[in-house]
Structure 1
Amino acid sequence: MTNFISIFPLGVVVYPGEQLNLHVFEPRYKQLAGECIAEKKPFGIPAVIDKKIMEYGTLVEIEQVDKLYDNGEMDIITRGTTVFRTLEHIHTIPDKLYAGAIVNYPENKEGGNSRLLEEVLHGIRELHAILQVHKTFKKDDDQLTSYDIGHHAGLSIHEEYELLHLFYEVQRLEYLKRHLHKVIPMMAEMEKLKERVKLNGHFRNLSADNL
């Protein structure tokens, strides 16, 4: 399916199912949000990376207006629904301050692999333990998907974007697995280095094993 959507480019990667809270203050996006609320229609958030609007983004729906300010600014709660691919940017729309895009929606194969998911979750929790970060997920482990955990694996925004345009769940889990296998040993070594630096200058009990 191909259609026109209003777009709100942002320097983040949004995944399907993800809740994103936004404070809308620019006139063009106040107009966009107001129309989407009135017409109960979604809008697109294409990722902006290195000051460039990327090809892929995520369609989001406004679930709630959390606060409406006297000057028209608003706090809105949105949720990602579908990944889109931009075919053409529409920079000027009559009577609109915001831009739009002609997009389509690549088919997304959602079936995963429970064993692979367990391995990825184990790696994420190992990474969090090294970093002394405490996070919990709102779903049971067997209900989680790569989109639920993608922001918790220590990916850069470029890597989060790469994950966005992988269209098989198994591919996305494999991507996260490879990333964790690479980053966990590096982070563990950095923690050891921190401990060695802390010990420098302290009195230590050392032994040369009677050599």
Structure 2
Amino acid sequence: MQKFLPLFPLNLVPFPLEDLNLHIFEPRYRQLLNESLDHGTNFGIPVFLDGKLLGFGTEVKVIKLSKRYDDGRMDVRTQGIRVFRIIDFQNPVEMKLYAGGVVELLPEPEISPSVMVGLSQRVETLYKLLGEKHSFDVNKPQPYSFQIAHKIGLSLEEEYNLLKMPTEAERQGFLIQHLERVIGVLQEVERTKERIKLNGHFKNLDPLNF
């Protein structure tokens, strides 16, 4: 399915069903959000990375206007809907201040509480190594991969690659591989810390028998 969307490029990766709070201050995006609020229309957030507008992004809807300032700025709460691919980009849209384009809307993500055992185990291991707690919920109505993606050390480029993957199984497999690398690094750091702690202490050394 194709449709036209006003576009609000950002240097971040919003995921479907993720809540995203935005502070709107530029005139072009104030115009975009005012039109969205007035008409109940959605807009798109394509990913802007390393000075380039990338081809994929997320359609979002405004959930709430949290605050409107006297100078026209506003705080809005949005929520992701589904991923899109840009087909035709216009900057600016005719007679508007903001950019827009024709996009291909990809299917909305499947909502499944199933999580690969290997993924949940690695998430628990990661947070144990970090000494932190998490509040991830496998029953939350959002794909688990999108729920944890911002909180397991992915780079922006890796988050973008995750966004483009069409199935939850593919995304979870990708995250398992990522966590394997991260956990390996953290475990080596812990071993290094232990070696550093031992350095300088009196040690009982067994005599070597040649």
* Fold in common (TM above 0.5): yes
CA RMSD of aligned residues (A): 2.3
Q: Does 1:100 align with 2:100?
A: yes
CA shift, 1:23, in A, is: 0.6
Distance 1:111 1:39, change over 3 A: closer
Percent of residue pairs bearing the same amino acid type:
38
Aligned length: 209
Instruction: Show structure 1 runs of 4+ deviating over 6 A.
Output: none
Partners of 2:160 and 2:23 lie apart in 1 by 23
CA shift, 1:149, in A, is: 1.6
Instruction: Report the counterpart of residue 123 of structure 1 in structure 2.
Output: 122
Partners of 1:38 and 1:108 lie apart in 2 by 25
- C-alpha contact 1:120 1:176 (8 A) present in aligned 2: yes
Q: In the alignment, residue 150 of structure 2 is paired with which amino acid?
A: H
Distance 1:90 1:182, change over 3 A: same
Instruction: Report the counterpart of residue 193 of structure 2 in structure 1.
Output: 194
Instruction: Report the counterpart of residue 154 of structure 2 in structure 1.
Output: 155
Q: In the alignment, residue 53 of structure 1 is paired with which amino acid?
A: L
1:23-65 CA-to-partner distances (Å, cap 9, x unmatched) read 1111111111111011101110001111111100000111011
- C-alpha contact 1:113 1:170 (8 A) present in aligned 2: no
Q: In the alignment, residue 136 of structure 2 is paired with which amino acid?
A: F
Partners of 1:48 and 1:114 lie apart in 2 by 32
CA shift, 1:113, in A, is: 8.4
CA shift, 1:127, in A, is: 1.0
CA shift, 1:130, in A, is: 1.3
Bigger mean CA offset, 118-127 vs 153-162: 118-127
Normalising by the residue count of structure 2, what TM-score does the alignment of the two structures yield? Answer: 0.90
- C-alpha contact 1:112 1:170 (8 A) present in aligned 2: no
Partners of 2:73 and 2:3 lie apart in 1 by 28
Instruction: Report the counterpart of residue 88 of structure 2 in structure 1.
Output: 88
Q: Does 1:177 align with 2:181?
A: no
Normalising by the residue count of structure 1, what TM-score does the alignment of the two structures yield? Answer: 0.89
CA shift, 1:163, in A, is: 0.4
* Structure 1: gaps spanning 5 or more residues: none
Question: SS where residue 60 of structure 2 aligns?
Answer: strand
Instruction: Report the counterpart of residue 9 of structure 1 in structure 2.
Output: 9
